[in-house]
Amino acid sequence: MAENNDILTQMLEVAEQDKKMSDKQRKIVAAAIELFAERGFAATSTSEIAKRAGVAEGTIFRHYKTKKDLLTSITVPIMIDSVAPFLARTFVAEVFEQEYPDFRAFLTELVRNRFDFVRENNQVIKIYMQELLYHDEMREQFSKVFMVHVKGQFDRVIVFFKERGEINDMPNSTIMRALITNIVCFLMTRFMIMPKADWDDDAEIERTVTYILNGIS
């Protein structure tokens, strides 16, 4: 799979190789993903998907009741089985497998990396966050991806900077929870709750880093 953090691009690559779908389904899913990537979910109509796929619009509704069903019924399994683990491994390589002069440098890169990822995939992430509220299996699978691919790397970095005296001697789980909670809340506010506010992104990233550091160092 190509080194690309775009969720829809990764889904398209997987969908095009999915042998469990009929040829017509693959065309519909591929067309939908391409259009969602080009125009956004809200701006894409089922008629446009049908035209791109070369099928009648009624064919789409025989398989999927709504446009959202089209996105979630096919892409949720793809996301869980293939894309989420790949994105987790990419995240680890980009952030955790690098060297940093101090904990602030690591934390700044962590926040900036997730900032760029959410900015690039904002619309799709909104949809998946809604789905997470109602799908226990989906939450469990995402938790499994985190535990398998990311948690160990978090622990390693935390222990490293603890031993250097840059982080307070608190349980790793407490430090990890503080990092995740503050970063996620910042990104949700920036991109979902107050996206049209007058943001100075660089300044807010630095303030978020400083705020976290004040609590754990």
For residue 3, what pLDDT band results from cuts at 50, 70 and 90? very low
* pLDDT of 5 over the 60 cut: no
Residues 6+ apart with CB under 8 A from 107: 179, 209, 212, 213
CA dist., res. 142 & res. 15, Å (int): 19
Q: What's the mean pLDDT in 190-209?
A: 95
Structural domains in the chain, CATH included, are 7-216 (1.10.357.10)
pLDDT at 2 over 50: no
What pLDDT band is residue 62 in, cutting at 50, 70 and 90?
Answer: confident
Comparing 77 with 146, which gets the higher pLDDT? 146
What average pLDDT does this structure show over 92-104?
Answer: 95
Of residues 138 and 140, the one with the higher pLDDT is: 140
Per-residue pLDDT at 216 exceeds 70: yes
pLDDT the model gives residue 1: 38
Positive/negative CA dihedral, 163, 168, 169, 174: negative
- Given a cut of 50, whether residue 133 has pLDDT beyond it is yes
pLDDT digits (tens, 9 = 90+) for 149-162: 999 999 999 999 99
1-28 average pLDDT score: 69
What pLDDT, on a 0 to 100 scale, did the predictor assign at position 18? 66
CB atoms within 10 A of CB 37: 19
Q: What is the pTM of this model?
A: 0.77
Residue type, 214: N
pLDDT of residue 60: 87
